[in-house]
Amino acid sequence: MIDFYYNLSPNPTKIALALEEMGLAYTPHPVDTRKGEQFAADYVAINPNGKVPAIVDDGVVVFDSNAILAYLSEKTGQFGPPAGAKGRADFLSWLMFVATGVGPFSGQCVHFRHFAPEDVPYAKARYTYEVERHFGILDARLADRPYLLGADYTVVDMSLWSWSRMVPFILGEGGLDRFSNVKRHHDAVGARPAVARALALKDRHSFKPEMDDEARRHMFKFLKAA
């Protein structure tokens, strides 16, 4: 049984999807980041970075969402790279592209557009540009193939889907329509039965809905000194 520490943000959602797609038994443990639960001593002992997601698989701890995807794929032999050196190289390259580009730039874009305590036009412009640039690269990649690595659906697609579903919040309504191939990919992944099961986690536990001063202090800890 896998212990899965999560909230409803994009990175844990991709792990919920992978667990459901792979048919793995797991126990979900909510970590309410707006209440600061990610900094509890027992959770930091699992993930020293104090972020979600993390898993504990029969005593084996894995944190960082894309590391978890790679681990689960290797563990099960499912949704992994195509055969051969090129297949593995593409797998690692595109998985890391989402991990180091799409996720961080999208997160910063959301922060400065929606949650920053002051308006910073330069930051909003920079991170909006980078999100659009990254999704443009993905759109070009998907122009001649159904999935990021070709004909087969992999954990790389799960990782992308967790962020593409958030584009209306990241870039505004209609944002995904500007990337027609990413939208097609998003819709195809979103129609999979495992997606509905993964999203149903929102009904299992309740999380603090308000992004109030308390939540900001927990999520953006540097504000304590402000």
Residue limits of CATH 1.20.1050.10 in the chain = 85-191
pLDDT at position 215, please?
87
How far apart, in whole angstroms, are the C-alpha atoms of residue 41 and residue 24? Answer: 27
Kindly tell me if the per-residue pLDDT of 219 is higher than 60.
yes
CATH of domain 2-78+196-225: 3.40.30.10
How far, CA to CA in Å, does 198 sit from each of 12, 14, 138, 187?
Answer: 10, 8, 24, 15
pLDDT bin (cut points 50, 70, 90) of residue 104 is very high
pLDDT bin (cut points 50, 70, 90) of residue 223 is low
Q: Which two structure tokens, joined as six digits, stand for 154?
A: 């992999």
Question: Among 69-78, 86-95, 168-177, 213-222, whose mean pLDDT is lowest?
Answer: 213-222
Pair type for strands 26-30 and 2-6: parallel
CATH of domain 85-191: 1.20.1050.10
Residue limits of CATH 3.40.30.10 in the chain = 2-78+196-225
Q: What is the pLDDT of residues 157-207, one digit of tens each?
A: 999 999 999 999 999 999 999 999 999 999 999 999 999 999 999 999 889
pLDDT bin (cut points 50, 70, 90) of residue 221 is low
pLDDT at position 30, please?
97
